[in-house]
Structure 1
Amino acid sequence: MPKQVDHESRRRLIADAVCALVDERGLGAVTLRDVATRAEVSMGAVQRCFRTKEEMLGFALAHVGERVTERVRVRLTAGPAQSAASELGLVAGEVALLREEHRAEARIWLAFVAAAAVDPGLAQTLRGSYAALEELVVRLVAEASEGGGGADWAVAGGVLEARTEARTLLALADGLTAHVLIGYRTAAEAEEVLHAHLAGLWERR
């Protein structure tokens, strides 16, 4: 009887192989043959999972985004109950990929971001990943605001809106990822920047 293959598990295995090759050589050097070799499957198996190289790369990019989002979800639910403000700091740190064990993931993510600037398919996938993260951060900012979940709160001179703050925080985290990766900032310095931004956010309330 032929061996049954878990199609989704194989797709994730291939995505992991793509990510490993991107980390080692950059996105432009990834070939279907090298991916098959790294994943220890046949070329035919790769082509049965993905119709084109572009489809394979798009899936690998989404796979990275899902990995980050799932890690955030696990960290939010696994530990003791925290304030929304503390959870927001945790999420920002995870999204920025500042820890040493996430450095390879940061290299992979930025390689895909660079490619997405000229690849509409990858850009669409990235927009979906960012949108999912934004909704999570919007919820946490709103929960941390006065009134236990309102979408905005009064500040001197105007209103601080949860979505604006979420977008600002995600943009800051993204920039810090690049700064740490090229050695412009250390991970510790980047964490200080994040913490200072969050502290200033609550002080402005």
Structure 2
Amino acid sequence: MPKRVDHDQRRREIAAALCRLAGERGLEGVSLSEVAAAAGMSKGLVQHYFRNKDLMLRYATGYLRERLEQRVADRTAAATSQPRELLRAVLLALLPLDRDDRTESLVATAFLFRALQDPAVAERFREGRTLLRTALITWIEATYPSGRVAPVQEADMLLALVSGLGDAVLLGYHTPEQATAILDRQLERLDAASAAQPG
């Protein structure tokens, strides 16, 4: 019998190879031939799935989103079921705290620059951020039901905070431990605001 091929898995393997290379030297210098070699495939097979580099890059944005969703799922599964700990786990999943996180953050940054020139990639970024913001609003509402914390504004603040902290860790301004401590201080401020007695 002929061997059955999992085409989705092949595409993910190609995207993973692209991301490994892009994490080392950015997107622009990566060729289809290099991706094929890194994926252990022929260039012709890669072109069977992606006619050109642009299509491969656009697919890879979805792969990165899947990786982020899996990281969030893993971190929340390891946390307690308390809403505050789940919110913290989600936010920590957005930071480059270990080598794999760092690689994916570097690739996401490379895609951000690509998005400035590629409307399709830019739209994928906007979709992803909207989904993340909506989820954060829900987690904040569950964590701080007192009504003394504004979920929409705090979601925007926390997203801006983790984005800035992520850049600071990548550039070596902060260690992962320092970034975690800064995030924890912000959550403690939210805890205090939620618990404050109305004046």
TM-score by length of 1: 0.87
Deviation readout 1:35-60 (Å, 9 max, x if unpaired): 11111112221122123311111111
Residue by residue over 1:159-183, the C-alpha shift from the partner in whole angstroms, topping out at 9 and shown as x without a partner, is: x421221122112111111111111
2:182 aligned residue: 193
**Count of residue correspondences:** 194
- What percent of counterpart residues are identical? 35
Aligned: 1:179 with 2:168: yes
**2:12 matched to which residue of 1?**
12
Q: In structure 1, what is the equivalent of residue 121 of structure 2? A: 122
Return the letter of the residue paired with 2:176: A
Q: Counterpart of 1:29 in 2: which secondary structure?
A: coil
Q: Does 1:32 align with 2:32?
A: yes
In structure 1, stretches of 5+ residues that fail to align are 148-152, 155-159
Letter of the aligned partner of 1:23 in structure 2?
G
Structure 2 CA distance, aligned partners of 1:197 and 1:72? 20
Q: Are the counterparts in 2 of residues 64 and 109 from structure 1 also a CA contact under 8 Å?
A: yes
| Structure 1 residue 80, shift from structure 2 partner | 6.1
Pairwise CA RMSD? 1.7
Whether the 8 Å contact between 1:15 and 1:63 is mirrored in structure 2 is yes
Residues 13 and 142 of structure 1: CA distance in aligned 2, closer, same or farther (over 3 Å)? same
1-side partners of 2:165 and 2:172: how far apart?
10
TM-score calculated relative to the size of structure 2: 0.90
SS at match of 2:28: helix
Amino acid at match of 1:122: V
CA contact (8 A) 2:80 2:86 kept: no
Check whether the contact 1:17–1:38 (CA below 8 A) recurs between aligned residues. Answer: yes
Deviations along 1:84-105, one digit per CA (max 9) or x if unpaired, are: 1111111111112223442212
Find the counterpart in structure 2 of residue 99 from structure 1.
Answer: 98
Where does residue 142 of structure 2 map in the other structure?
A: 143
Q: Provide structure 2 residue ranges, at least 5 long, that are not aligned to the other structure.
A: 195-199
Quick check: 16-25 or 113-122, which moved more?
113-122
Question: Segments of 4+ in structure 1 off by > 6 A?
Answer: none
Distance 1:163 1:189 in 2: 26
